[in-house]
Every structure is written in C-alpha cells, then in structure tokens.
Amino acid sequence: MGKTLIEKIIAAHGGPDAAPGDIVDLEIDVRLARDFGGANVVKNLEEAGLGIDEPARTFFTFDCNPTGSDQKYAANQQRCRLYARREGIKVFDIHSGIGTHVAIEHGLAVPGGTLVSTDSHANIMGAIGAFGQGLGDVDMAHVFAFGRTWFRVPPTIKLVLEGEPSPLAGPKDVVLAILAELGAAGLLGHAAEIHGPFAEGLDLDDRVTIASMGTEMGAIIVLFPPSRTVLDYCRVRAQRAIEPVLPDADARYARTVAVDLDGLGPMVSRPGHPDDAVAVDAVAGRKIDSAFIGSCTNGRISDLREAAAVLAGRRVAPGVVLKIVPATDAVWRQALDEGLIDIFKRAGALVGNAGCAGCAAGQIGMNGPGEVTVSTGNRNFTGKQGKGEVFLAGPATVAASAVSGVVTHAGALADEPVLFVEGEDPTPRAERSGGVGGGRPTVIEGRVWVIRRDNIDTDMIFHNRYLTITDPAEMGQYAFDNLEGWEDFAKRVRPGDIVVTGANFGAGSSRQQAVDCFKALGVPLIVARSYGAIYERNAVNAGLPILSADLVGTDIADGERIRVDLAQGLITRADGSTVRGAPFSGVQLEIYQRGGLLAG
C-alpha cells in the first residue's frame, strides 16, 4: 500500500513501517527554541542534568521580542545566549526575524526533513514539503538532549482546491475560505495534503500563508508536495542536492475534501474566531482604528509588495495607525532595496524590526480596549492581539482598509477616507463571538468543573501577557484568566478537582504554561472530547493526565464526583453509569508513571 507525504517523511526518520495511529520514535533534523520558551528549555535541561545531542542542528531564535525591550524577555534572551556560548549553539538573535522563516531562508529546513520549534506555527514547513511541529518546553528540552521524540503518525486528509479565485483574492483569502469551509477543528489531529492545479501553481510565499494557518484548523501539518520552483529555491539555500519526497499514487487517505475557490473574492475573519470568515463586503464600512501587516503568515516579500501596490501615492487615513513588520531581516532589506520601505513611510506607516510582532504580548501590532484592527495575522482570539477587536485579512485588504479608514478591499477603495467625528463613539461594538466562551495512580477520583464549550484556546487558558513567567508555582493563579465567565476559576478550584470540557481543548499556541497552570493548582486530570495536537503532547510530556471522552455531552454537572480509570479509559459517574473514553497508550502511561518526559 502506498504512503502519503507525511507517512513517507516519518518512514525516513524512524518509522519505516508505521501506519496512522502508531507511535514512532522520530529523528528530528532541526531543533529551534524561541526567546519566550528558550529560557524554560535551558532550565529544564540544566535541572535534568542533560546535554545537547547535536549542537550543529540546534538553534535559538529570538523573534517574539526582537527589540529586547521587555526586561523579562531580555533576561530570558540573555540566559539563552550564555547557554548557547557554552554549548556551541548558534543564536539567530533579535535582528534575524521569525525562526521558522529563517530556517527556510538559511537552508536548515529542506523538503522531506523534520523540524520542531517552540512555535505553534512550525507547520509552515509544510510549504516546502517538510514536517514541522510546535513543541512545549519539556518536549523541546528532550529533543535538544536526545535528537528525537515520540510522535503519533497522523491520518492524512487530501484537500483538493478546485477552480480559480478572482484577481482580487490572494492566498490569505484562500486559506480563510478553507477555514470557513472546514472550521476550527476541521483538520484536528490530521495531516493535510494540498492538491489541485491551482495549488500546484502557488509560489513559496503563497504556500507559507496557507500552511501556517493549518494550526487554526487543528492540523498537525498542512503539506504541499514540493514544486520544481520550491525545490530549486531550497537547493540553492541549502547548497546541496535535495531529492523531492512525494506521496505515492496509491496513497490511502482518511478522506478527500474538495474546496471550491472559483470566483472567490477578498475574505475577512470576524473578531474572535479565525474560522468565522466571510466576504469583505459583509462587513465593509466598519470604522477601524488601526491596521497591521506582518506575522509568520503574511510577512514575506510578496505580502509587502501587495501592500505597497495599494499604498503607493496614498496616505493612511487620519486617526488610523498602520504598523508593518517584515518576517525576516532578509525580507526587510529586500523591501528597502525595492523602495517598499519608502512607500510605507510616505504613506505614514510605522515599520518595525523583523519578527513575530502582534502575536507576542507588548510587540508592534497589539491593540487597546475598544480598538478595531484589521490584521494579516493568523489568530484573532479574544485578547490574543490586545484588548480590542481584530479582523483577519490579506495584505491588500489591510492596506486598503488603512487608507480608507474602514474595512474594505483593494477593489473598493474609498475616494476619501472615512474620518472619526470628534466626540462621537464612532462604531457601536459588535457582540464578540469569541472568548466565551513510577507509582502514580491510574485511577483518579474527584469532583468536576464542567465547561460546555469547544475550541477553548491557549490564550483563554493562559494568556500571552504572562508568558515570561518561568516558575510553575506562579502559573496557577492565571488559569482561565482570559476565559469569559471563568476568570475566577483559580480561586474556586481545589486540589483534586477535575476539568471536564468539549472538543479541541487547548487549540492555539505551543505554550507549556497552559498545561503547567493546572498542575500548579493540583488539578489531576482533564477530560475533553478532543485536544489541540500540541496541547495533547504538552500535557502527556508534563505528566498531566488527559482523557479523550465525551463526558461534557452528558447531563453531568459541576460538583459531581467521578472515578476515572486511565488504563481502561473508563469513567464511572456518581449514579453508577459509565462513559467510555480512549485508554492511555503505552507511551502516555509510561511517561505519566515516570512523572513526565524528562523525569528520571
């Protein structure tokens, strides 16, 4: 039987006979730790007395705070620098840009290879036909020390893009259309392969935009079979021969999904949920305060050219702030050489250092309470990019909105910008659709807290404004701090209590703190319909039991006591009835019994 693209990559890195669902010990070619997670990786290695497997394959990338302007970030960065000097590890410092993009630019990541990062969008490696995965701090420390880690082979969905979008639509509009079609958990736990004539003609930048937002669909990774153009680019960057890894003609897929793009126009995601995507015309005219162009999804040179084409000869509307952040220093320099920076400055934009920008707390792209932003970022979860509302769109739409003063697209630019009226509350705020929303026992009993919601993301669990905290004991007080209706959870929960919730729990980023905050509170178990892929790994590797079961779909209520047998996946309720879940795998049980992946 033939293999899919992800199966062939895994087969070449430690799992030659592995099938979907199998757990393999996977060799990792490239290992990246970022500035917000790197200090914890170092701490974990030092506390466990572990060294570095291969320094030449191991890197630090400082992209969350490329100015080093926050004292805690600066301290974390310096701790990583000192460790890197001692261990002979290369640092891509604050001038370099987004680590995953740097890895492609420098030829570290190549088609058919494997890369992990403390970045939940490491799956942009799918753009070059490589496997990339975001890991938590414990997981990454293990890879630094041993060069490999466990992975469950995902089933693959074949995603066929049909038809041709309109000339006004770009790759961001395409991926927002896919999100609208599939939903936030549409690819949960799966790899996806992108096929079809339209997909085959996409260049590397376009593929990066689409692959990077696989995280927002719950995907392990979204993979493009590499084109000749992509292969040639990677060969030049890596300065060596590279043979393409392609799916077999008789590969077996979990299912095939067709997405009709014919005539697709500009799209926008409404605040709160990336998958709440509609045509721009549906929200056109909404007054905005700010606009942002950048992120790992839309900070490449083609994105900046697209924005410059709209901004050339125009000015940002009075009362609107436009912030632009190239993905890497190389992109920044190319934009300078091509005159794009001059266009941006003449238009009245702020251009920042290369890096992640608005996805990291305190960086360029954040907004304030009541502020309405149109952004090219990948997420607009409540509180993720600040205290305001965030619409997601492509670079041309963001630029057009910035000069018009309202949400619009490049084909419907206003003749004159819409201005704020002094003393007037310019726009009644729409209701937000997001943000609400070794001898250890294998049998756990406790009372439950029932949260009947799906897609609770890591910003709701542990907000990014607390990411510089490295002491787990301090993390518990912030659990669910950004989940509406549950802000006081940390004050009410008691050690031994169990959290019961819905599907795709822990969607979003790779932050370890979203697991460790529950451990700090003494929560011994989480029961959910399903989990975000990275969150599941982080919980397993931290020794926090998580069980997949549809308990939230019953009439269970807060305060009921349950008994959970992890080995059997069996939940016994107070009335004696039972609910069957997924039993712990052998790897999961062994790590739990040890007390965590790095425990002796």
Per DSSP, the residues of 232-294 read: HHHHHHHTS--------TTB--SEEEEEE-TT---EEEPTT-TT-EEEGGGTTT-B-SEEEE-
Task: Provide the pLDDT confidence category of residue 433 given band limits of 50, 70 and 90.
Answer: very low
pLDDT, residue 427, reads 43
* Residue in the structure block whose two tokens are 């707390």: 361
The DSSP code for 168 is T
Evaluate whether 5-260 and 267-412 have a shared fold.
yes
Q: What are phi and psi of 115, to 5 degrees?
A: -145, 140
Task: Provide the pLDDT confidence category of residue 438 given band limits of 50, 70 and 90.
Answer: low
Q: Which CATH superfamily is domain 443-594 in?
A: Aconitase, domain 4 (3.20.19.10)
467 CB contacts (<8 Å, ≥6 apart)?
36, 64, 360, 361, 511, 513
Helix, strand, or coil (residue 92)? strand
Q: Could you give the CA distance from residue 375 to residue 371 in angstroms, rounded to a whole number?
A: 12
Looking at the DSSP bridge assignments, the partners of residue 59 are: 32, 90
Rg (CA), the chain: 23
pLDDT, residue 595, reads 92
Closest listed residue to residue 456, CA positions, set 515, 506, 514: 506
Give residue-wise pLDDT tens across range 49-67: 999 999 999 999 999 888 7
Burial of 90 (0-12, 13-18, 19+ CB in 10 A): middle
Given a cut of 50, is residue 431 above it in pLDDT?
Answer: no
Task: Provide the pLDDT confidence category of residue 423 given band limits of 50, 70 and 90.
Answer: low
Q: What are phi and psi of 476, to 5 degrees?
A: -60, -40
Give residue-wise pLDDT tens across range 173-196: 999 999 999 999 999 999 999 999
Q: Could you give the CA distance from residue 205 to residue 124 in angstroms, rounded to a whole number?
A: 10
Helix, strand, or coil (residue 152)? strand
Whether the CB-CB separation of 333 and 359 falls below 8 Å is answered with no
Helix, strand, or coil (residue 29)? coil
Domain ranges of the chain: 5-260, 267-412, 443-594
Q: What distance separates the 2 farthest-apart alpha carbons in the chain?
A: 72
Give residue-wise pLDDT tens across range 201-250: 999 999 999 999 999 999 999 999 999 999 999 999 999 999 989 999 99
Closest listed residue to residue 377, CA positions, set 340, 455, 323: 323
**C-alpha angle 240/245/247, rounded to 5°?**
170
Given a cut of 60, is residue 425 above it in pLDDT?
Answer: no
**Mean of pLDDT over the chain:** 93
Q: Could you give the CA distance from residue 100 to residue 354 in angstroms, rounded to a whole number?
A: 13
At residue 529, what is the residue type? R
Closest listed residue to residue 122, CA positions, set 143, 139, 99: 99
Give residue-wise pLDDT tens across range 457-478: 999 999 988 888 889 999 999 9
Q: Residue 411 is encoded by which pair of tokens?
A: 């084909």
Whether the CB-CB separation of 131 and 507 falls below 8 Å is answered with no
Range 472-492 average pLDDT = 95
What phi-psi label fits residue 281: left (phi over 0), alpha (psi between -120 and 50 degrees) or beta? alpha
Closest listed residue to residue 319, CA positions, set 358, 291, 340: 291
Q: Could you give the CA distance from residue 379 to residue 179 in angstroms, rounded to a whole number?
A: 12
pLDDT, residue 358, reads 78
Handedness of CA 11, 17, 20, 25 (dihedral sign): negative
Q: Tell me which of 364 and 195 has the higher pLDDT.
A: 195
Q: What is the number of other CB atoms lying within 10 angstroms of the CB of residue 81?
A: 16
Q: What are phi and psi of 531, to 5 degrees?
A: -130, 150
Strands 498-501 and 443-451, by their bridges, are parallel
Whether the CB-CB separation of 540 and 547 falls below 8 Å is answered with no
Burial of 157 (0-12, 13-18, 19+ CB in 10 A): buried
Give residue-wise pLDDT tens across range 543-581: 999 999 999 999 999 999 999 999 999 999 999 999 999
Q: Could you give the CA distance from residue 272 to residue 453 in angstroms, rounded to a whole number?
A: 14
Helix (H) or strand (E) holding 78: helix 71-87
Given a cut of 70, is residue 25 above it in pLDDT?
Answer: yes
Domain covering 5-260 assigned CATH 3.30.499.10 in the classification: yes
Range 370-384 average pLDDT = 91
pLDDT, residue 422, reads 58
pLDDT, residue 421, reads 65
Q: Could you give the CA distance from residue 397 to residue 374 in angstroms, rounded to a whole number?
A: 8
Q: Could you give the CA distance from residue 122 to residue 141 in angstroms, rounded to a whole number?
A: 16
Task: Provide the pLDDT confidence category of residue 262 given band limits of 50, 70 and 90.
Answer: very high
Give residue-wise pLDDT tens across range 412-421: 998 899 987 6
Domain covering 267-412 assigned CATH 3.30.499.10 in the classification: yes
Helix (H) or strand (E) holding 26: strand 23-27
On the CB side of 554, CA atoms within 13 Å amount to 22
Q: Could you give the CA distance from residue 407 to residue 425 in angstroms, rounded to a whole number?
A: 17
Q: Tell me which of 365 and 84 has the higher pLDDT.
A: 84
Helix, strand, or coil (residue 214)? coil
**Cα pseudo-dihedral 369, 374, 376, 378, rounded to 10:** 50
